[in-house]
Structure 1
């Protein structure tokens, strides 16, 4: 094991003591699954009764839920993340309107399947639902949107609907957890990492003998490189990657680890607009799933690199820098207008600095300085000096 300077651990201990990181008393994942199931069944049945009543009264039946595509529908709440406003714009799907009658029927079909799965305590993936009637649904994307729309409409986390998706996330390090079926998962001594489980709500116990923090890495290539350099052992941490934009299970799993183990989460991302956006998804939640930020947004998330300011101060070789595109410029403008940026001027500064530099850099660019620059220099120095955002 590499012996890090005492200051490395002292800065973490000091941050924990002075309230830099705060943790909930209990996990946000509801333990009383039976009560949630009953409530969801009641919501679905009440919705169907209302539709039948409208048809009987010759009223056009409609389905309504918060529009998941408009930034003006959400606000940033300190210590929580993105939250849907009470007076937000609604999406309306009508049975009798030609532009939405097809979607109305699809939503009812998936609602019927969800109702049956909850009653029989079965589950399915989004892929399973699509192949139930591929000619009707036409595309997997259609099913994905419908499931999330239903969760938003019923105001429940997606896992309550008994619908999951194959997680693409990977985890490695000193971590063990058990599931409701009695299995014990050990993430130690795994050379390439273990897949993040697809039933986060089924995790019953999470333990670690030595982990002092969680390190989220944007891309799998960087994750595998850090594993090769034995970073979890050297720095007593747990490594997680969502392999790009993280799926729901990876985000929920990372939050669960932080809340349960009571350790902070640090993030390593490319110094480009999309890397910053992915960091914000972990930390503040996403627009489309703002209704479930309580289970997904990680308030103890801190950004340690690669910062646009690092690109300037490290003197990266010109050959390792990537010129800005029009798409990058548009993404920066979009980020600057996000509702959480006003509360985090340091993040806003990094976005505007990147605009000024008109270039971006990937984590792999650090290998031109040294093959082990991340593990030997950047990560230890950032934590030891408390240089996180």
Structure 2
């Protein structure tokens, strides 16, 4: 930890930033570097970004959004067709005429919406962390929600891991509790997918998949989390329903009838009907 602390001190003194990957070259054991950063943040009661150690983001974003980063002006509506979310140290002048923000769990769904011209047709912003979101993606979503004051909707699989990913956006990561407030987006609403969508959106029963033993263990562990007991009870109920029925549903199942069903029917209908869970 001392070596990492020395690097952090040097970065702060010079006013520079380094990625975690840069630090890995100083110590081949990535787990040691990660744990050192967590320990330093906890002991100093600060966020990891305030240590000037940043993640090279894996998230993607597209839609009606412009902002400045240092000497660059980035227009996400013309980013062929999306922009890779990086750590943005000098972001400013965020502007958008979008009506809402959609956070999708998987890159495959993000690409499907991009191919269908969803943002152009619906005047919105779409973001994905490509699975569990990294620090850069969560930080950017929090900033975006605060600066634009737009409603934020989450679109994830109806399974324990999809819900855990959504909870990471809303409440933060259990392994980074010290950083939760700086990275969480408490206003995010769960737009879908739900098991009940099989009936309301004509999804064939064959699209329902059986929960694995791993899914069950994940669900049972999540039900013990305080925020699912007290702050998101409706999410808690959906998780219990999955366990009771022993099934799960993937977002891609909504395209069983036609490829563009998600973009053309499901999302617009759900938002118009306010059919989401807080």
TM-score band, normalised by shorter chain = over 0.9
Per-residue deviation at 1:121? 1.4
Consecutive unaligned residues of structure 2, counting only runs of 5 or more, are: none
Per-residue deviation at 1:133? 3.7
State the distance in 1 between where 2:71 and 2:202 align. Answer: 52
Matched, 1:304 2:191: yes
Q: Write out per-residue CA displacement over residues 339-368 of structure 1, whole angstroms, 9 at most, x where no aligned residue.
A: 112232211111111111211121111111
Per-residue deviation at 1:188? 1.1
Matched, 1:148 2:38: yes
Q: Write out per-residue CA displacement over residues 31-61 of structure 1, whole angstroms, 9 at most, x where no aligned residue.
A: xxxxxxxxxxxxxxxxxxxxxxxxxxxxxxx
Q: TM-score, normalised by structure 2?
A: 0.95
Matched, 1:196 2:85: yes
Q: Write out per-residue CA displacement over residues 153-206 of structure 1, whole angstroms, 9 at most, x where no aligned residue.
A: 211111111111211000101111112x2221111122341111213x421221
Q: Write out per-residue CA displacement over residues 306-359 of structure 1, whole angstroms, 9 at most, x where no aligned residue.
A: 113324544532432221111111111112111112232211111111111211
Consecutive unaligned residues of structure 1, counting only runs of 5 or more, are: 1-106
Matched, 1:255 2:142: yes
Matched, 1:205 2:99: no
State the distance in 2 between where 1:133 and 1:156 align. Answer: 23
Match of 1:130 among 14, 21, 24: 24
State the distance in 2 between where 1:279 and 1:125 align. Answer: 25
Q: TM-score, normalised by structure 1?
A: 0.68
Relative distance call for 1:314 and 1:174 in structure 2 (3 A) is: closer
Q: Write out per-residue CA displacement over residues 52-109 of structure 1, whole angstroms, 9 at most, x where no aligned residue.
A: xxxxxxxxxxxxxxxxxxxxxxxxxxxxxxxxxxxxxxxxxxxxxxxxxxxxxxx111
Matched, 1:284 2:171: yes
Indicate the residue corresponding to 1:357 in structure 2.
245
Q: Write out per-residue CA displacement over residues 107-161 of structure 1, whole angstroms, 9 at most, x where no aligned residue.
A: 1110011001110112211111111243xxxx22321222122112211111111
Structure with higher RCO (Cα < 8 A, 6+ apart): 1
Match of 1:369 among 240, 249, 257: 257
State the distance in 2 between where 1:132 and 1:291 align. Answer: 25
Please identify the structure whose Cα radius of gyration is greater.
1
Taking the TM superposition and a 5 Å limit, the aligned residue runs for 1:338-353 are 338-343=225-230, 344-353=232-241
Q: Which runs of 4 or more aligned residues in structure 1 lie more than 6 Å from their structure 2 counterparts after TM superposition?
A: none
Matched, 1:175 2:62: no
Query: Contact 1:308–1:351 at 8 Å: present in 2 too?
Result: no
Query: Contact 2:198–2:204 at 8 Å: present in 1 too?
Result: no
